[in-house]
Structure 1
Amino acid sequence: MLRNQETLNQLPIPSLNNLLEFLNWIKPIVDDKQFQESKQALDEFLAINGDGYKLHNKLLEISEKQECNWLEPLWNDMYLQYRQQLVCNMNYYSILENTKFKPLYTMSTLGAKLTYELISKYIEVSSQRLSPEFIKNQPLCMEQYNHIFKSVRLPLLNKDIYITYQFAKSHHIVVLHNNNIFKLETSDLDGNIISVEIIASKIQKIIDENIQDRANNIASLTTSNRDDASKLYEAIKTDTINKNSLDIINTAIFVLCIDHPTSNTKELQKSILISNGKNRYFDKSCQLIISENLDIGFNNEHTGADATTWFNIINQSFNKIVQDKKETIRISDTSLPEELKWNISDDIKSRLANQLNEHQKFNQNIYVDNLQFSNFGKNLIKELMMSPDAFFHIALQIAQYKTFGIFKSTYESVSMRHFQNGRTECSRAVNEDVSLLAIEICSNNSSKSKLKDLLINAQSSHVKRINNCQKGLGIERHFFALYKLYEKYGEELGIIKTPNIYNSPGYKILTHDFISSSGIAFDSIKLFGFGPVVEDGYGIGYVINNEKITVSISSKTKNKDKAIQLLNNLNEAFLTLVSIAT
């Protein structure tokens, strides 16, 4: 699995002057006054012996002494120091394409098949036998796979910790049903994975017993802000019975949640992303969620790995089940898996119940929706000699302008796994060329030939910015690192106040993730998404497959109407771009 690691390049530190690109990034989203003020702040920052010069030299100095890349420790701290609730803010979700499964399986047999395949992947990862990945013959870093299974984020005051437990011959998952938690052993005495039939029988036994909600609400602690979660966690684990149960959850390979059915896709989205605070454990790296009507979803915690790493595992497991010949899975009578025991005081019960109530209010404040666009997908876009990613983001900016009458910052995640221990860079999808195209389209008075020329320019600019980010020449992670070094070493370096660049209107507007977006392309995944990053913002996850494009959107409920309008305008923009390009 790791045989190509040493051939990967280290993430380069861009030159300080690379930050001049900041001006091009902010130009379409600020006015002239804001631009000039931001330019002056940047000039001060980049001056010889300016704050940026001092911080950049400190970054170079530190990076020479680190065994990991320069961004890695700062990036991990950013995740673990986050103090708001993980639900919707850090965790992301996916919904699988289940049409092939519905006629073939029951909830227990499908749950068992997926469980078996995921545990097989856990064994492959733990034994380092998972095949390395490549993109266009370029090997990708596989280190993230060492931090996905048997992992948990534990709440502590001020900064959490992320733990991946060592491989053991004996292994288990935990199963949540009716808000009660069970330990399901997934290995025999020799460490072999138990059969699908035994796993299915154990799951079915939990379903048949149908133990009603005992109202312990233990998992609601994982819906709290992290400092409150830490206090609750510490109070709960003071009892040895509780500590043992928490240890069982923490050391589980993953969580399987058995859910009641939802009535429509939007309800399913919200259930997988947020839930009502019951029957979930959001601190675990992976929750597999299966409902009675065989809807399949995943909720993943983000610290240990990025979405594409998890989705590759999910996709391989999904495809293995699709390719398998339909087998008869016999359910046999078996013992009920161990139900975790809890000794919860009245005070802690009250605190957990209050947190559950707060989460359900939070749930009501989030709106989710989706676009299932089936007119065309990646195949047609490529026939038109366009990058599917550029196509999507150009359409999104047209939709943004039509919806809001202005361009605001759009975050696009760029994978950096072609570097050793690389995670992501941020590209910003609003550039001058795409803004010109959007304005012309919305004016309705330009010729098709002019629009086609503008479209070519918009695509070129988008692809160029993405390519620069992929080369390690992005600007936002560099700015982020310099700011974190200011926090730690500013006084030592003689920097007595926050550098003006970070308080400039351009920097604040650029890093206000009005639209936060990320895209994938796995046939097994029907929808993928996450919550809005800022109060007035929108979270957009998109899946571009050969013949369709699906989009998940989230916002605060007060922004629901604009979210619906944005999706409708995006649908129209897809069609408009094809009419221009053909």
Structure 2
Amino acid sequence: MPECDQYLFNEDDSSARHINILYKGRGWTMDILDNKGGIASPAQIENTLYRLIHDDAEAPDLPFAAPSVFPNEQAREIRAQLNSRSENAAIWQSIEKSLFILSLDDAHIIDDEDALNDAAFSDGSAFWAYKPLNYRCNLSDDRYFLHSESSWIDASSLADILALAQKNQHDGKIQRKNTLPDDLNLAPLDWQIDKHETKEQDSGTYKLIKEALAEYRHHAESYTTGIYDLYLNDQEQHLLKHNDPDALMQIALQYAQYKVHKTVRSSRENIDMRHYTNGRKCYMQTVTATSKAAATAIYSLADSSSILPLIEAYNEEHLMRKAHCLHGEDVYGHLLGLESIAREQKQDIPAFFTDPGYLTLTQNYISTISLGCHGILSYIAFTAGRAENIAINYTYNRNNINLVLTHPRNRTREIQKFATAVQAGIKQLLRILALSEPQDEV
């Protein structure tokens, strides 16, 4: 929940475990595990959800999940006002203790990009923002999304959770026998919020949520995502397998920066830390003198023989930096943690953290992550902190490179040029690497 750094689970003597369901602005609770670990059968779940989506109850004025999407201060105030009623306090406790959120949507969305936008930046009804796991199911298009709370777990660990679930399903390790009733104790959850007849009379909790929701929607609408694919021939696929693809991508991103903005700003790469038991966040700074020299040399159409040594040198730099991160020897996240602790405890933040040099190195224009190549997660949308920054997920598939860029909506045309430049940079890098390949004798 937004006001604490802990997670609440059911007591040992709880009779069952439940999930919460969101659909058309309403909320429900549904038992899914009995007290012996037996899970609801597919038939029970399907029949219960069928009844739910055919419930013709009118959608509420305020989406059930609205209290979750606000900044901390607003969220604390709204929660306090809601929980002053015992009925609302019971609902909040149900959400705290649920295993996860299942969000259902029956809108027909043809385009993958539009569907990702809808899932990532909804109107405040599609997920409970402070639950670690929200599963979003598009019923009409058979699409599935996972919305996670980023401070809880890293994305690579989420991929492992999904992989384990698939494996257990395939191996038949899920206990199907259960003592749950056929309707899985499905019950609606309705906030008790007083509403006045006219806008002029609106006050208190209803007005607070309504105004905060409008502000949230305005903020959510200011972001969008773009999906781009770069197709590779057999030779290009071979070259990627025998080089560090992450290093090549970072050079291409810096080339695109220089081509579009005539400068290269600090960027970071999210490192896959799934080998740590509980997962952890780790960011690696990716701009070095070598990578910048390679990017600008490609832009200047320098001779390939002068660029190739720079690519090879940056490959080594990138691998060495990544090795340090994988052993927990990164400094960047530690410094961010110290700054965050000082801010939360209302201590004076040392001048070091406002030094122009430090800010140049830590205020990243681009944040990247690559997890889709593990075959569990495909399109990943996330925000990169500051409003002007770009968040990029890239995936090396069998015959193409997929890019997902999350960015401010008002910069769409600029970002399209940037994405085109990234693709051109990758092609240039692969062309240079191809020239260094030994040629077959005739």
- Deviations along 1:63-112, one digit per CA (max 9) or x if unpaired, are xxxxxxxxxxxxxxxxxxxxxxxxxxxxxxxxxxxxxxxxxxxxxxxxxx
Amino acid in structure 1 at the alignment position of 2:141: N
Amino acid in structure 2 at the alignment position of 1:473: E
1:452 is aligned, of 292, 308, 319, to 308
Secondary structure of 1:279's partner? Answer: coil
- CA distance in 2 between partners of 1:416 and 1:448 (Å): 35
Amino acid in structure 2 at the alignment position of 1:373: L
8 Å contact kept, 2:116–2:225: yes
Amino acid in structure 2 at the alignment position of 1:281: W
Identify the residue that residue 380 of structure 1 maps to in structure 2: 237
Identify the residue that residue 283 of structure 1 maps to in structure 2: 130
* Displacement of 1:382: 6.0
* Displacement of 1:380: 2.4
Identify the residue that residue 512 of structure 1 maps to in structure 2: 363
- CA distance in 2 between partners of 1:511 and 1:163 (Å): 30
- CA distance in 1 between partners of 2:261 and 2:110 (Å): 32
* Displacement of 1:410: 0.5
Identify the residue that residue 272 of structure 1 maps to in structure 2: 119
Amino acid in structure 1 at the alignment position of 2:128: Y
Amino acid in structure 2 at the alignment position of 1:390: A
- CA distance in 1 between partners of 2:235 and 2:338 (Å): 38
**Residues 316 and 422 of structure 1: is their aligned pair in 2 closer, same or farther, counting only changes over 3 Å?**
closer
Amino acid in structure 1 at the alignment position of 2:130: D
Mapping 1:20-419, distance limit 5 Å: 154-156=1-3, 160-166=4-10, 170-188=16-34, 190-259=36-105, 260-291=107-138, 292-318=140-166, 337-346=186-195, 347-375=204-232, 380=237, 385-418=242-275
- CA distance in 1 between partners of 2:46 and 2:307 (Å): 57
- CA distance in 1 between partners of 2:52 and 2:235 (Å): 42
* Displacement of 1:481: 5.3
**Residues 172 and 458 of structure 1: is their aligned pair in 2 closer, same or farther, counting only changes over 3 Å?**
same
- CA distance in 1 between partners of 2:278 and 2:285 (Å): 23
1:569 is aligned, of 415, 421, 425, to 421
**Residues 527 and 422 of structure 1: is their aligned pair in 2 closer, same or farther, counting only changes over 3 Å?**
closer
8 Å contact kept, 1:378–1:545: no
Identify the residue that residue 397 of structure 2 maps to in structure 1: 545
**Residues 293 and 383 of structure 1: is their aligned pair in 2 closer, same or farther, counting only changes over 3 Å?**
closer
- CA distance in 1 between partners of 2:102 and 2:319 (Å): 40
Amino acid in structure 2 at the alignment position of 1:155: P
- CA distance in 2 between partners of 1:362 and 1:488 (Å): 24
8 Å contact kept, 1:381–1:388: no
- Deviations along 1:297-330, one digit per CA (max 9) or x if unpaired, are 1100022211111111123435666899xxxxxx
Secondary structure of 2:353's partner? Answer: helix
Amino acid in structure 1 at the alignment position of 2:382: F
8 Å contact kept, 2:256–2:421: yes
* Displacement of 1:218: 3.5
TM-score (norm 1): 0.65
- Deviations along 1:512-556, one digit per CA (max 9) or x if unpaired, are 121112221321322012013112211112223343322211112
* Displacement of 1:171: 0.9
8 Å contact kept, 2:156–2:273: no
**Residues 210 and 262 of structure 1: is their aligned pair in 2 closer, same or farther, counting only changes over 3 Å?**
farther
**Residues 479 and 176 of structure 1: is their aligned pair in 2 closer, same or farther, counting only changes over 3 Å?**
closer
- CA distance in 1 between partners of 2:6 and 2:345 (Å): 25
* Displacement of 1:376: 6.1
* Displacement of 1:164: 3.5
For this pair of structures, how many residues does the alignment match?
A: 412
Identify the residue that residue 85 of structure 1 maps to in structure 2: none
Identify the residue that residue 529 of structure 1 maps to in structure 2: 381
Deviates more, 1:538-547 or 1:175-184: 538-547
Secondary structure of 1:171's partner? Answer: strand
**Residues 419 and 382 of structure 1: is their aligned pair in 2 closer, same or farther, counting only changes over 3 Å?**
farther
8 Å contact kept, 2:30–2:187: yes
8 Å contact kept, 2:26–2:190: no
TM-score (norm 2): 0.85
Amino acid in structure 1 at the alignment position of 2:326: Q
- CA distance in 2 between partners of 1:208 and 1:489 (Å): 49
List runs of 5+ in structure 1 lacking aligned partners: 1-153, 325-332, 492-496
Secondary structure of 2:242's partner? Answer: coil
* Displacement of 1:233: 0.8
8 Å contact kept, 2:121–2:221: no
* Displacement of 1:212: 3.0
Deviates more, 1:461-470 or 1:284-293: 461-470
Secondary structure of 1:507's partner? Answer: helix
- CA distance in 1 between partners of 2:80 and 2:346 (Å): 34
Once the two structures are aligned, what percentage of the paired residues are identical? 18
* Displacement of 1:375: 2.1
- Deviations along 1:89-140, one digit per CA (max 9) or x if unpaired, are xxxxxxxxxxxxxxxxxxxxxxxxxxxxxxxxxxxxxxxxxxxxxxxxxxxx
- CA distance in 1 between partners of 2:38 and 2:235 (Å): 41
Amino acid in structure 1 at the alignment position of 2:157: T
Deviates more, 1:469-478 or 1:412-421: 412-421
Secondary structure of 2:269's partner? Answer: strand
Amino acid in structure 1 at the alignment position of 2:191: W
Amino acid in structure 2 at the alignment position of 1:272: A
Higher RCO (CA-CA < 8 Å; seq separation 6+): 1
**Residues 204 and 376 of structure 1: is their aligned pair in 2 closer, same or farther, counting only changes over 3 Å?**
farther
CA RMSD of aligned residues (A): 2.9
* Displacement of 1:462: 1.6
8 Å contact kept, 1:377–1:544: no
Deviates more, 1:346-355 or 1:503-512: 346-355
Amino acid in structure 1 at the alignment position of 2:364: D
